[in-house]
Structure 1
Amino acid sequence: MAKQGDKIVNGRTGQTMIFLETGKETNGTLLETESFNPKSDMREPIHIHPKQESGARVISGKLHFLVNGKEEVISAGERITIAAGAAHCFWNEDDEVAHSVQYFTPALHIDEFFESFFALANDGKLSEKGMPPFLQLPLMGLKHRNEIRVTSPPWVIQLLTYYLLAPVCYLLGYRAGYRSEK
């Protein structure tokens, strides 16, 4: 479980995330991270946080956000707030590393998702589209269904698939939380 000061790196995108405040330290009200995003052609999948507001304050550089189909460029000194349930993703397509402070409220267990997701990236286990392995996904999807969901296929299809596959995934040794094999 992440704690204040912990740092994780996503080997796929180069993003570095430092936990400034976690749900444990804020009684579940806030997760705040410092994020460094180098230029990358790799984008995260379009997703929603169904029960969390999220946002970012850019300190230096620029971040590109796609929110509900509309692209916004957030520069140093600017901020963005993303409502719970809004489909979005973000990336840096500029040469300068984008430095930002990002937040999620309430925190729920999004920190645990980031730890697993970055570990999968570092072990080279994410697909070309940035998705976890097929048999890892149902367990992560169920555990973090209140924190994060991809937008396609529809949620009811994802949920049904996750419930049907979860027992098989457990039997094959997969777990909802992933730790690096390296």
Structure 2
Amino acid sequence: MDYSLPQTIDNHLGEKLIFKRILHEPDGDVLIGENFVQPGSGPPMHTHWLQDEGFTVLKGRIGYQLAGKPKQYANVGESIVFKRGVPHRFWNDGSEVLHCEAWLKPANTIIFFLSSIFAAQNKSGKAQPEFFDASYLLTRYASEYEMNEIPYFVRNVVMPIAYRIGRLFNKYEHFKDAPEPVK
């Protein structure tokens, strides 16, 4: 799927992402961007099964955690990397807006996925994305992404059933141009 870059997305929770450019490399495209996160905000524990992700703090202080590990912190000028397949979360641990330079490799479907998650959060007005949209995204793209804080039964039974019900009731017309998941 081709995207016109730069592209900016935000959610009502205080997160703004700017997808700036794609660098084409022999072993996969790298998405370069920036994120801005309000104090106390940040995504819950999640996993990128196929991608590495990195941040360099430009302003503020980032808190981060790998599943089962203690919380850690990085300040201005410091970088962190989350390896593919490792559940992680991060948040703004300071009192000012956290601003980071970010990269993700390979880019795969991340622009579509995050844009759709943010839109579904904005639609619901809550941290939890609108349920049918979340069911679509987390079922269709389960080979790429996982939201680890969603209970196993909900993630692997309830959401796939809701995904099929949503298809029956034509709730996914707005996803008609969705990219194929990467396996």
Same fold by TM-score greater than 0.5: yes
Other structure's SS at 1:164 match: helix
AA aligned to 1:133 is E
| Aligned partner of residue 86 in structure 1, secondary structure | coil
In the TM superposition, 1:44-123 aligns within 5 A as 44-68=43-67, 69-123=69-123
| Paired AA for residue 65 in structure 2 | L
CA contact (8 A) 2:50 2:84 kept: yes
State the shift of 1:77 in Å: 0.5
Q: Determine if the alignment matches structure 1 residue 147 to structure 2 residue 144.
A: yes
What is the TM-score of this pair, normalised by structure 1?
Answer: 0.80
Contact map agreement 1:37 1:92 (CA 8 A) in 2: yes
Q: Specify the alignment match of 1:7 in structure 2.
A: 8
Larger mean Cα displacement after TM superposition, 74-83 or 140-149: 140-149
Classify 1:43/1:98 alpha carbon distance in 2 versus 1 (closer, same or farther; 3 Å).
closer
**In structure 2, C-alpha distance between the alignment counterparts of 1:3 and 1:90, rounded to whole Å:** 27
Aligned residue pairs total 170
Structure 2 unmatched ranges of 5 or more: 176-183
Q: Structure 1 residues 148, 175: closer, same or farther in 2, change over 3 A?
A: same
AA matched with 1:31? L
Q: Report the Cα offset of residue 9 of structure 1.
A: 1.4
Please report the RMSD computed on the Cα atoms of aligned residues, expressed in angstroms: 2.4
Report the CA distance shift for 1:159/1:20 in structure 2 as closer, same or farther (over 3 A). Answer: same
Q: Tell me which protein shows more helix as a share of its residues.
A: 2
User: Helix, strand or coil: the match of 1:169?
Assistant: helix
Q: Give unmatched runs, 5+ long, in structure 1.
A: none
Cα 1:102–1:49, aligned 2, differ >3 Å: closer, same or farther?
same
In structure 1, C-alpha distance between the alignment counterparts of 2:52 and 2:116, rounded to whole Å: 21
User: Does 1:171 pair with 2:172?
Assistant: no
Residue identity opposite 1:153 in structure 2: P
**DSSP-derived class of the 1:135 partner:** helix
Q: Counterpart of 1:11 in 2: which secondary structure?
A: coil
